[in-house]
Amino acid sequence: MTSSGRGNGSRGGTYAPEETRRILLDAALKLFEERGYHPTSVESIVAEAGVTKGAFYHHFVGKEDILHQIQEDYIDNRLRNCERIVAASDDPVEQLRELILEALVGISEYRPQVTIFLQERRFLVGERFAAIKEKRDAVDEYWVKVIRNGMESGVFAPVASPRIASFAILGMCGWAVTWYRDDGDLSLGEVAQQMTDLVIKGALPR
């Protein structure tokens, strides 16, 4: 984690801008998840990262700026994956299956980011919040589009509006952050398969 990078951009070490930025992001990510955003100070992030306060302000305007960057890294990854999934197939069932798997993979690989967003998003305000919300809305729209296309083609039953159905499924996937563990009895793929079957055969039967 952060200890591996100490010395680069650190007090008395060789300055490596990109590595220093990553070390600061990792330190903030760790502390925001463990302590929460509000109790974590810039001083504690600097201490965890092993860099100077000047190095922090060289890369970030303040604490909210680093919170925004953490969230943007996560949502940009989600958005790219959704674009890829929808472009790769015209089958709504296959698209929905891959979107569910993608959501669970995101939770597994970005658990701290997901946890921080759920707990600390109220601290993002103004333009920073608007930028993240716009991208999250774009992710939501991919889900709505897939479900709407499935309903209109008769693949999914119109048991709810596409938006309500997408919010319900996204909520189910998002809640996995509280119970899914990589060392559990089922693999990520097996969990995704069962959740997909539950949705397609139960919530959205043909």
Domains of the chain: 2-60 (1.10.10.60), 64-203 (1.10.357.10)
Q: What percent of the chain has pLDDT over 70?
A: 91
Predicted TM-score of the model (pTM):
0.82
Mean of all residue pLDDT scores within the chain: 87
Please report which confidence band the pLDDT of residue 13 belongs to, taking 50, 70 and 90 as the band edges: low
Burial 95-114 (b: 16+ CB within 10 A, else e): bbbbbbbbbbbbbbebbbbb
- What average pLDDT score do residues 14-33 get? 88
Backbone angles phi, psi at 166, to 5 degrees: -65, -40
